[in-house]
């Protein structure tokens, strides 16, 4: 039995996924967890579920606390299958239970599952759920992470079930922030924000405004550890991340065929080195898009390099830029660079086009280009560009 107590009569009944390494393209090298909760009161509520493949463990966790026929409510905060995937088996076990969600979630669930025998209780922020000694309030959190997303607040216990927000893809037996190294879990929370929520900074800011006056003693997200001793740390981190607040950092990433673009990346790196400015440089052959997105979140500026291959950019650079374009990191300065063989208007201009589509502020209107091997003059231009980026980062501090 893996159920863990959060507060009196409130339990974690989720599952830890130690082995997941790819969560729809996000490299989850620390695994993850799907957190579900149970409140045992005069009325019994289960809050969210787990990925379908873990439903046996989820059901066992619930059954270790109460018989299924005692479940009154199953709250669904989010229809994405990592959290709703075991609701169908739970509803089969608990046909008397009402499925509590908002209207948009009901529609989404009905597209994923056969819900015709489910009894729905639509809450949409207007209805509180009295369980006995606990009252559940519901806060719609549209686009954090999907349009139907919702958070549930246990009023008397001051406990926020925050859904994806404040989560981390992080497998742990510790369950709580106090059992983990703070820097590690904050980094995983940052990675999670960058790769899952960065596009939704504005809607998340609106959620912060909505919940500004509620007292929170514990935040129980749907992935990773539960925050109880470091609530201020995670909230203040989110308040920076929602604006992609720069941290005095330049991120250079590139792919290279015969080292010419790499020589240019090295020269930009050299030029950018300045006291107080962090400079990071990644060859995309060795560093994947998940880590790149995490680093870009709080960068002041990015330098993106690709040689020309078959009249366009290298596939790994296209992958990284396509991913970042979707995540839409805000307020980034940028330059494009790279080498070409014979067609001057090609790969590097494709990089530039991506940067424009990402609404980056272009520090140079044209890419820095090198025909075949960079000359000392080209490398000096790269160093100068690096200096420009460092100066911008220093001015923004």
* Spatial separation of the C-alpha atoms in residues 397 and 395, rounded to whole Å: 6
> Min. distance of Cβ 195 from ligand FEO in angstroms?
11
Q: Is 48 in the site for ligand FEO (CB under 6 A)?
A: no
Which residue, chain included where needed, has tokens 């246990």? 154
Q: Which of 153, 192, 200, 323 is catalytic?
A: 192
- Quick one: 164 or 255, whose CB is closer to ligand FEO? 164
In the chain, alpha helices (H): 55-63, 81-84, 87-93, 103-112, 182-192, 201-211, 231-241, 260-272, 289-297, 315-327, 347-357, 376-395
145 given a catalytic annotation: yes
Catalytic choice (72, 82, 148, 177) = 82
For ligand FEO, the binding residues in 149-168 under the rule CB under 6 A are 164
Q: Are 182 and 196 in contact (CB under 8 A)?
A: no
CB 334 within 8 A of CB 363: yes
- Quick check: is 223 catalytic? yes
Q: Does 145 interact with ligand FEO (rule: CB under 6 A)?
A: yes
Q: For residue 73, give the nearest of 165, 136, 13, 151 by alpha carbon.
A: 136
360 touches 334 (CB < 8 A):
yes
Label residues 18-45 b or e (16+ Cβ within 10 Å = b): eebeebeebbbebbbbbbbbbbbbebbb
Q: Pick the binder of ligand FEO from 223, 228, 249, 332 (CB under 6 A).
A: 223
Q: By C-beta, is 227 or 333 nearer to ligand FEO?
A: 227
Q: How far is residue 279's CA from residue 293's CA, in Å, rounded to a whole number?
A: 15
Q: Does 148 bind ligand FEO (CB under 6 A)?
A: no
Site for ligand FEO contains 191 (CB under 6 A): no
Work out which of 48, 80, 255, 262 binds ligand FEO, going by CB under 6 A: 80
Q: Are 235 and 273 in contact (CB under 8 A)?
A: no
Known catalytic membership, residue 349: no
User: Is 222 an interacting residue with respect to ligand FEO (CB under 6 A)?
Assistant: yes
CB of 32 to ligand FEO, least distance (A): 9
Q: Confirm whether 298 is a catalytic residue.
A: no
Closer residue to ligand FEO, CB minimum distance, 83 or 175:
83
Quote the least distance from Cβ 343 to ligand FEO, whole Å.
42
Active site residue 217: no
Active site residues: 24, 78, 80, 82, 145, 164, 192, 223
Q: Could you list the residues that contact ligand FEO (CB under 6 A)?
A: 78, 80, 82-83, 145, 164, 222-223
């Amino acid at each position: 039995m893996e159920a863990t107590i959060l507060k009196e009569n409130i339990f974690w009944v989720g599952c830890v996924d130690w082995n997941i390494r790819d969560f729809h393209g996000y490299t989850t090298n620390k695994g993850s967890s799907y957190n579900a909760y149970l409140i045992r009161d005069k009325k019994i509520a289960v809050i969210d579920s787990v990925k379908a493949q873990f439903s046996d463990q989820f059901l066992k966790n619930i059954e270790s606390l109460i018989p299924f026929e005692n479940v009154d409510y199953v709250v669904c905060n989010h229809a994405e299958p990592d959290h709703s995937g075991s609701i169908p088996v739970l509803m089969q076990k608990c046909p008397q239970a009402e499925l509590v969600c908002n209207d948009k979630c009901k529609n989404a669930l009905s597209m994923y599952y056969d819900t015709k025998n489910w009894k729905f209780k639509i809450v949409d922020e207007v209805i509180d759920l009295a369980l006995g000694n606990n009252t559940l309030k519901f806060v719609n959190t549209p686009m954090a992470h999907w349009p139907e997303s919702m958070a549930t607040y246990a009023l008397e216990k001051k406990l926020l079930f925050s859904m994806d927000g404040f989560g981390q893809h992080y497998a742990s037996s510790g369950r709580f922030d106090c059992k983990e190294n703070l820097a590690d879990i904050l980094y995983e929370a940052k990675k999670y924000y960058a790769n899952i929520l960065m596009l939704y900074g504005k809607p998340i800011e609106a959620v912060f405004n909505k919940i500004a006056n509620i007292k929170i003693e514990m935040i129980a997200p749907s992935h990773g550890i539960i925050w109880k001793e470091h609530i201020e740390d995670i909230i203040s981190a989110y308040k920076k991340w929602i604006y992609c607040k720069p941290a005095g950092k330049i991120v250079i990433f590139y792919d290279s065929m015969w080292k010419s673009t790499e020589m240019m990346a090295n020269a930009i790196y050299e030029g950018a080195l300045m006291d107080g400015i962090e400079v990071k440089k990644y060859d995309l052959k060795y560093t994947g898009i998940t880590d790149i997105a995490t680093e870009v979140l709080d960068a002041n500026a990015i330098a993106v390099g690709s040689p020309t291959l078959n009249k366009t950019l290298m596939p790994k650079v296209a992958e990284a830029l396509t991913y970042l374009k979707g995540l839409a990191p805000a307020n980034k300065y940028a330059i494009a660079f790279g080498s070409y063989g014979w067609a001057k208007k090609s790969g590097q201009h494709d990089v530039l086009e991506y940067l424009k589509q990402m609404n980056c502020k272009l520090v140079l209107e044209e890419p820095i280009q090198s025909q075949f091997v960079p000359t000392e003059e080209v490398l000096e231009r790269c160093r100068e560009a690096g200096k420009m980026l460092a100066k911008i980062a220093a001015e923004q501090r």
